[in-house]
Structure formats: structure tokens, C-alpha cells
């Protein structure tokens, strides 16, 4: 459902710098209607955007990418939040059988990943591109925040994504870790089961992809630790599968 904004996205983004996330979501729901979708990794912070979005737009389509290598606790959390928030989840799975993939890719130990770029392309970015192609949304709500990483520091509230042919809207962009914590607490939202074990940014289960971090460490330092990789690729425009 193609909708082109009349106003420049940089002007709209600027106007959201001091807005609350719910105001950004309300604007998106009003502007794009049923053409609005959201993505969720059902990770450590995910309950926040899911709660905010479903309060403004019950029934919003939630795209969930299943790489085949997620923690069982993540699947349990998906079900817990689905029931609690009455989520309309669109589950997009990798085309690969996980064990066949490991064998084909020459990955000898399922607890590690030697070639994270290849694995993220085949098992995370391909299903995401397929989801966006199938659903063809006009706009997409996502939970990225500037405080999460250097690569997210310059993101804008509303961006045109040529890769997915839709607007990408990031209502939580200016929120800190403390804001997230406060919202989870205030709204009595359940935590990801692994949060209690030091997992503060949660992706796939291999140790090379997600590990717990100490209290004084950057929460995202547990993702692809030591590899130099900071993004799975879903939020990159110049990504090639
Ligand atoms: S995060 Fe790890 S297991 Fe998940 S798709 Fe990327 S490389 Fe593969």
C-alpha cells in the first residue's frame, strides 16, 4: 500500500525530537492506517514497543523473524506476550533447516558461528526481505534507539527505506536504557526469561551471537562479541544478501 508523505521526512523527524513515543506512533497510525506494520525480535526491550504500539493500534501486524537459532526462552516469551497483548504475529521463518544449514555452511559446532555474515544473510535478512515483500507495508515501526550503538546514533525518527520500499519509523529513538526500564516497570510488563541471567540484548543462541554481559558493560557488547559486527543487517540500507 504505497503512501508518499507530502512533507520532507527530515522536517517530520525534527518535529519528533521532543515528542513522546506514543505521539509518534499515533501519527504513524493516523497517516498509514492498515499499511503500518511493526517488527519485533522479542528480545530484552521488546515488550515496550509492543505495548505502546498495540495500545495505539490494536491488531497491528507484528513481523517476527525466526532464524532457526533463537533461544527456546525467546519462543516462550513470544507466546507470553502474544497472550498478554493479544498480538497479531506474522511469523517468518528461515527457509533453511537449521541442522542442514550448519552442515552446508561448514559450521562444525552449533554453539558457535564461524561465518556470522553468511548466517545472518541466509537466516535473518532473507526472511525479513520476504516478509516486507509479501506484506508490502507503507510504513514500519521498529524499536531501534540511538543509545544502543554508534551505528544508530544518526538515525532519524522517520526515514525512507529504499531497501524495503516503505517508511521506517523509530518511536523510541531518543529513549535511554533507564527509560526502557522505567516503562517496563511502570506497566508491569514481563521480562524476557534470560534477562535475569545477564542477557541484556538478546538475539540468537550461539555464544558468538549473544552472551550475557556484566552490569557495567555496554548491553550490546554481548552481541557478536569480538567479531567487530554490531548489526544483524535488518536496519542497514546498503545490505546485500
Ligand atoms: S545472529 Fe548468529 S545465529 Fe542468528 S542469524 Fe545471525 S549469525 Fe546466524
Contact 92, 131 (CB under 8 A): yes
Cβ of 71 less than 6 Å from ligand 1 = no
Q: Residue 147's pLDDT is what?
A: 94
| Domain regions of the chain by residue span | 9-222
Q: Residue 51's pLDDT is what?
A: 98
Q: Report the distance separating Cα 144 and Cα 51, nearest Å.
A: 15
Q: Report the distance separating Cα 218 and Cα 229, nearest Å.
A: 14
Nearest residue (CA) to ligand 1, atom 2: 209
Q: Are strands 158-161 and 166-169 parallel, antiparallel or unpaired?
A: antiparallel
Check if 204 is active-site.
no
Cβ of 232 less than 6 Å from ligand 1 = yes
Cβ of 124 less than 6 Å from ligand 1 = yes
Question: How is residue 100 written as a grid cell?
Answer: 542442514
Q: Backbone phi, then psi, for 151, in 5-degree steps?
A: -70, -10
Q: Residue 230's pLDDT is what?
A: 86
Cβ of 222 less than 6 Å from ligand 1 = no
Tally of CB atoms within 10 A around 94: 19
Cβ of 69 less than 6 Å from ligand 1 = yes
Mutate to test the pocket of ligand 1, among 68, 98, 120 (most ligand atoms within 8 A of CB): 120
Nearest residue (CA) to ligand 1, atom 5: 120
Nearest residue (CA) to ligand 1, atom 4: 204
Q: Report the distance separating Cα 179 and Cα 126, nearest Å.
A: 32
We find that the CATH architecture of domain 9-222 is 3-Layer(aba) Sandwich (3.40)
Contact 98, 68 (CB under 8 A): yes
Q: Residue 122's pLDDT is what?
A: 98
Question: How is residue 66 written as a grid cell?
Answer: 525466526
Q: HEC states along the chain?
A: CCCCCCCCHHHHHHHCCCCCHHHHHHHHHHHHHHHEEEECCCCCCHHHHHHHHHHHCCCCEEEEEECCCECHHHHHHHHHHHHHHCCEEEEEECCCCHHHHHHHCCCCCCCCCCCHHHHHHHHHHHHHHHHHHHHCCCEEECCCCHHHCHHHCCCCCEEEECCCCEEEECCCCCCCHHHHHHHHHHCCCCCCHHHHHCCCCCCECCCCCECCCCCCCCHHHHECCCCCCCCCCCCCCCCCC
Helix axes 46-56, 177-186, angle to 10 degrees: 60
Mutate to test the pocket of ligand 1, among 41, 115, 123 (most ligand atoms within 8 A of CB): 123
User: Residue ranges of the chain with pLDDT lower than 50?
Assistant: none
Q: Residue 1's pLDDT is what?
A: 61
Stated pTM of the model: 0.96
Q: Residue 174's pLDDT is what?
A: 98
- The minimum-distance atom of ligand 1 relative to the CA of 69 is 3
Structure confidence by residue, pLDDT tens digits, 59-78: 999 999 999 999 999 999 99
Question: How is residue 104 written as a grid cell?
Answer: 552446508
Amino acid at each position: 500500500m504505497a503512501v508518499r508523505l507530502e512533507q520532507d521526512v527530515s522536517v517530520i523527524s525534527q518535529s519528533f525530537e521532543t515528542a513522546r513515543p506514543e505521539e509518534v506512533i499515533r501519527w504513524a497510525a493516523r497517516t498509514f492506517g492498515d499499511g503500518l506494520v511493526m517488527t519485533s525480535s522479542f528480545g530484552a526491550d521488546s515488550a515496550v514497543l509492543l505495548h505502546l504500539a498495540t495500545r495505539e493500534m490494536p491488531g497491528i501486524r507484528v513481523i517476527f523473524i525466526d532464524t532457526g537459532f533463537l533461544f527456546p526462552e525467546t519462543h516462550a516469551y513470544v507466546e507470553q506476550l502474544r497472550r498478554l497483548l493479544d498480538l497479531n504475529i506474522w511469523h517468518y521463518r528461515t527457509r533453511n533447516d537449521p541442522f542442514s544449514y550448519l552442515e552446508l555452511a561448514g559450521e562444525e559446532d552449533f554453539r558457535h558461528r564461524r561465518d556470522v555474515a553468511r548466517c545472518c544473510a541466509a537466516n535473518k535478512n532473507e526472511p525479513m526481505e520476504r516478509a516486507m515483500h509479501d506484506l508490502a507495508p507503507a510504513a514500519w515501526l521498529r524499536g531501534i534507539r540511538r543509545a544502543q550503538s554508534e551505528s544508530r546514533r544518526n538515525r532519524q525518527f522517520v526515514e525512507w527505506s529504499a531497501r524495503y520500499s516503505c517508511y521506517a519509523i523509530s518511536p523510541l529513538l531518543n529513549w535511554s536504557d533507564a527509560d526502557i526500564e522505567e516503562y517496563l516497570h511502570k506497566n508491569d510488563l514481563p521480562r524476557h526469561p534470560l534477562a535475569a541471567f545477564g542477557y541484556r540484548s538478546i538475539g540468537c543462541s550461539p555464544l558468538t551471537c549473544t552472551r550475557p554481559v556484566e552490569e557495567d558493560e555496554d548491553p550490546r557488547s554481548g552481541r557478536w562479541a569480538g567479531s567487530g559486527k554490531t548489526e544483524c543487517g535488518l536496519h542497514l540500507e546498503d545490505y546485500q544478501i
